């Protein structure tokens, strides 16, 4: 067993984990932050994307031990004072979801897209940059619209 | 995934010592291949030695016409590097097309080449550019480094520290990627250097190799039409559910021509 410490959504947390514990398991099973989903468990689908030290990563493909000492942001950490993050609001406004299972990962990846490309991002770029996130409902059209709207929202 | 002992090394020496003490140890860099492999129980090391805490292993330095990239530098960092983009833009572009953005934020140069997946992108660039792999013990020319499918010249307790890439006059990488995994079904890296044209081919055979038949056909000129007459050995090509050997042989020529055209453009 290992003792690990990290900051999750602004709060210091610690835990005892098996060496093989994945970051997503630590978040979901120990911290009960179940907004981060496990879709494929093979690094393909992106439902488990969170931010570690500001970069989007697949939390099913990172050991909890590797995140020791890091700052982690999950979907639960985006809203503040009861107000949705602009990207969450854009997904709501544009109906950027069908079943909603992939949505947390889509939103986390979308914020990373804005970080790297700015608040004006064209459709082709959004589609290319979302290639690590799979929507099993194939609802990409509104997801892309939502990302573009959210990017504008984040840009002020 | 079976459990293992975990250790985060603070230095190269500490990592190597931990490996020597381990029964069946593995270094983990970004873990983007290794962790899925362990989850599938295709690997079950007794000890996992994490290189993520060794700050010296990450970073990019340009010295004259040589770009040196630390083994733990992520694909995202290489793709975003203004220095790499200016010196060897084809290398930055290659790094920016590995996997997907989240994978690029964790996956590393050293991890990719140590794993030596037959369809990985970086090996083609190392061979095409005539790069040098630096380890804790020695320097290895790229052509001598990649020895077979998932096999390299590295000893069990040898650690890659960096890779040095000489700046070419011009270079381009073209890959025909698997639409699900983004691995190369075939990828070809063409570089025109002071010593002539070098071609690195990945995805086609058991491991990345130098395209000597293609180089000879060019005779030092970036002339795509010269590739048409090249006869490639189909029996050496990989065949799987994604592409037959004949199709891969065809793709090698098509990707080579596209890379040559991109160099000339």
Which runs of E-coded beta strand occur in chain A?
2-8, 11-17, 49-52, 55-58, 71-73
Q: Tell whether B37 lies on the interface with A, counting CB pairs under 8 A.
A: no
Task: State pLDDT tens for residues A47-66.
Answer: 999 999 999 999 999 999 99
| Mutation to test the A interface, candidates B8, B9, B98, B100, most A Cβ within 10 Å | B100
Above 80 in pLDDT, residue A156?
no
> Which of B35, B80, B181 is facing A61, going by the closest CB pair?
B35
Q: What confidence score (pLDDT) does residue B58 get?
A: 97
Query: Same domain, yes or no, for A7 and A56?
Result: yes
Residues A63 and A93 in one domain: no
Across the range A62-89, mean pLDDT stands at 97
Kindly report the backbone phi and psi dihedral angles of residue A147, in degrees, each rounded to the nearest multiple of 5, phi listed first: -65, -45
Strand partners, A149: none
The shortest CB-CB distance from A112 to any of B8, B101, B106 is to: B101
Q: What CATH code is carried by the domain that includes residue A38?
A: 3.10.20.30
Is the complex ipTM higher than 0.85?
Answer: yes
Q: Which residues of A touch B (CB under 8 A)?
A: 2, 18-20, 22, 41-44, 46, 49, 55-58, 61-63, 65-66, 68, 109, 112-113, 116, 129, 131-133
A93/A126 same-domain check: yes
Mean pLDDT of all residues in B245-261: 98
Check whether residue A48 and residue A101 sit in a common domain.
Answer: no
pLDDT tier, A112 (very low <50, low <70, confident <90, very high otherwise): very high
Residues A67 and A31 in one domain: yes
**A102 and A133 share one domain:** yes
pLDDT digits (tens, 9 = 90+) for B71-89: 999 999 999 999 999 999 9
Residue at which a domain ends, from A77, A107, A122: A77
Considering the domain architecture, whether residues A71 and A8 belong to the same structural domain is answered as yes
Name residues whose C-beta falls within 8 Å of residue B49's C-beta, 6 or more positions apart in sequence: B7, B9, B15, B18, B19, B22, B25, B26, B27, B28
User: Among B22, B101, B177, B180, which would you mutate to test the A interface (most chain A Cβ atoms within 10 Å of its Cβ)?
Assistant: B101
Q: Among B166, B201, B175, which Cα is nearest to B69's?
A: B166
Tell me what the pLDDT averaged over chain B comes to: 97
Residue B265 confidence (pLDDT):
83
Alpha helices in chain B (DSSP H): 12-21, 34-39, 75-80, 82-87, 89-95, 101-104, 109-115, 122-129, 142-145, 212-218, 245-264
Q: Look at A57 and B106 and tell me if their CB atoms are within 8 Å.
A: yes
Q: Residue A115 maps to which CATH number?
A: 1.10.150.120
**Is the Cβ pair B36, A61 closer than 8 Å?**
yes
pLDDT band at B182 (very low <50, low <70, confident <90, very high): confident
Give the domain extent around A40.
Answer: 2-77
pLDDT of A91-104, one tens digit each? 999 999 999 999 99
The domain total for chain A is 2
Q: Indicate whether A9 and A73 sit together in one domain.
A: yes
Per-residue confidence at B230, pLDDT binned at 50, 70, 90? very high
Burial B223-233, CB ≥16 within 10 A → b, else e: ebebbeebebe
Tell me which of A77, A110, A137 is where a domain ends: A77
pLDDT of residue B180: 82
- The Cα–Cα gap between B104 and B96 comes to 8
Q: Minimal CA–CA distance to A87: which of A40, A49, A128, A134? A: A49
The shares of helix, strand and coil residues in chain B, as percent rounded to the nearest 5, are: 35, 25, 40
> Which residues lie below 8 Å from residue B8, measured CB to CB, with a gap of 6+?
A65, A68, B50, B52, B53
């Amino acid at each position: 067993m290992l003792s690990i410490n990290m900051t999750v959504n602004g709060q210091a947390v610690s835990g005892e984990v098996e060496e093989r514990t994945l970051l997503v398991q630590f978040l979901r099973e120990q911290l009960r932050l179940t907004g981060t989903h496990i879709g494929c468990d093979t690094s393909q689908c992106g439902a488990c994307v969170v931010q570690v030290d500001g970069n989007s990563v697949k939390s099913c493909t990172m050991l909890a031990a590797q995140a020791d000492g890091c700052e982690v942001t999950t979907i639960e950490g985006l809203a503040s004072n009861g107000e949705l993050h602009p990207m969450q609001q854009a997904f709501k406004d544009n109906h950027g979801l069908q079943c909603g299972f992939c949505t947390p990962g889509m939103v986390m990846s979308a914020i990373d897209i804005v970080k790297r490309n700015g608040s004006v991002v064209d459709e082709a770029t959004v589609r290319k940059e979302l290639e690590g996130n799979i929507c099993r409902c194939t609802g990409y059209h509104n997801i892309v619209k939502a990302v573009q709207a959210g990017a504008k929202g984040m840009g002020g | 995934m079976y459990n293992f002992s975990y250790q985060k090394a603070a230095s190269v020496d500490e990592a190597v010592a931990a490996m020597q003490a381990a029964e069946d140890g593995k270094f983990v860099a970004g873990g983007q291949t290794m962790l899925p492999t362990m989850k599938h129980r295709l690997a079950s090391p007794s000890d996992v030695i994490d290189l993520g805490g060794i700050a010296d292993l990450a970073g990019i330095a340009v010295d004259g016409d040589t770009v040196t990239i630390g083994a733990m530098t992520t694909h995202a960092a290489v793709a975003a590097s203004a220095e790499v983009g200016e010196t060897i833009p084809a290398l930055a572009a290659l790094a920016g097309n590995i996997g997907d953005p989240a994978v690029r934020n964790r996956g590393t140069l050293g991890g990719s080449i140590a794993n030596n997946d037959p369809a990985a992108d970086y090996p083609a660039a190392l061979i095409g550019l005539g790069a040098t792999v630096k380890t804790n013990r020695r320097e290895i020319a790229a052509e001598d480094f990649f020895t077979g499918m998932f096999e390299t010249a590295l000893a069990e307790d040898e650690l890659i520290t960096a890779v040095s890439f000489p700046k070419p006059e011009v270079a381009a990488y073209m890959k025909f990627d698997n639409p699900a995994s983004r691995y190369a079904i075939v990828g070809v890296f063409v570089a025109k250097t002071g010593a002539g044209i070098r071609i690195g081919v990945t995805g086609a055979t058991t491991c990345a190799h130098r395209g000597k038949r293609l180089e000879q056909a060019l005779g030092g000129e970036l002339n795509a039409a010269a590739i048409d007459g090249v006869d490639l050995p189909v029996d050496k090509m990989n065949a799987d559910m994604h592409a037959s050997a004949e199709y891969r042989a065809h793709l090698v020529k098509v990707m080579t021509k596209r890379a040559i055209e991109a160099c000339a453009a």
